Amino acid sequence: MTEYEKMRSQQLYCFEDPELLASITRSNELCAKLSTMTLSSADYRPTIEALIPGFPKSSAINPPFHCDHGHGITIGEHTFINYDCIMLDGGEIKIGAHCNIGPRCQFLTPQHPIDYKERIKPVETCLPISIGDNCWLGGGVTICPGVTIGPRCIIAAGSVVIRDIPADSMAAGNPAVVKKRL
């Protein structure tokens, strides 16, 4: 099994693998190019579609935007992601349709070893993140590895989501907890 396959299957993998480093370099170059654009720039659409395969025409990511690979990200129709979003997509990141993602949100899939002896090695696992349809994440929300947020949720600005949030919930805080059902 390649290091890429291990990464995508939530196994411990070496992030210094040449194939993975080439993928990150490609993504970094596309993100750097994107950071010089606006949503109305002529090269915006071809660049974002090269970065994130299958990116819907009805969706938008407001630059600047940063990600590790791009090909680990799936975004639904009519979703808007505001400035300064970070998606570390070693693990897959799936965002549903009709979502609004505030500025400076972070989607973090890497999980480093707990044992410090393992942590000094260039290894990690990546756990997927999933955001359901019709969600709204306020500015500065951080989504931690392995989290699923159900459809129709609101996550308050500045929240740090470390556990799954059930559908039709409003969550807030650090760590985020469900404050009420919608």
Among candidates 131, 81, 80, 136, which has minimal Cα distance to 104? Answer: 81
For 93-134, write each residue's pLDDT tens digit. Answer: 999 999 999 999 999 999 999 999 999 999 999 999 999 999
In Å, how far are 56, 77, 94, 155 from 59, measured between CA atoms? 5, 6, 14, 20
Quick one: pLDDT band at residue 180, thresholds 50, 70, 90?
very high
Q: Which of 69, 71, 98, 112 is catalytic?
A: 112
Alpha-carbon gap, residue 20 to 69, rounded angstroms: 8
Quick one: pLDDT band at residue 30, thresholds 50, 70, 90?
very high
Q: Domains in the chain, ordered, with CATH? A: 3-181 (2.160.10.10)
Task: Let me know if 112 is a catalytic residue.
Answer: yes
* Mean per-residue pLDDT, 10-19: 98
For 151-175, write each residue's pLDDT tens digit. Answer: 999 999 999 999 999 999 999 999 9
CB 112 within 8 A of CB 124: yes
Alpha-carbon gap, residue 81 to 99, rounded angstroms: 8
Read off the pTM: 0.97
* Mean per-residue pLDDT, 54-67: 98
For 68-89, write each residue's pLDDT tens digit. Answer: 999 999 999 999 999 999 999 9
Quick one: pLDDT band at residue 141, thresholds 50, 70, 90?
very high
Q: What percent of the chain has pLDDT over 70?
A: 100
Q: Residue 159's pLDDT is what?
A: 98
Query: Residue ranges of the alpha helices (H) in the chain?
Result: 3-8, 18-34, 44-51, 116-119
Alpha-carbon gap, residue 39 to 52, rounded angstroms: 15
Among candidates 140, 141, 144, which has minimal Cα distance to 130? Answer: 144
For 35-49, write each residue's pLDDT tens digit. Answer: 999 999 999 999 999
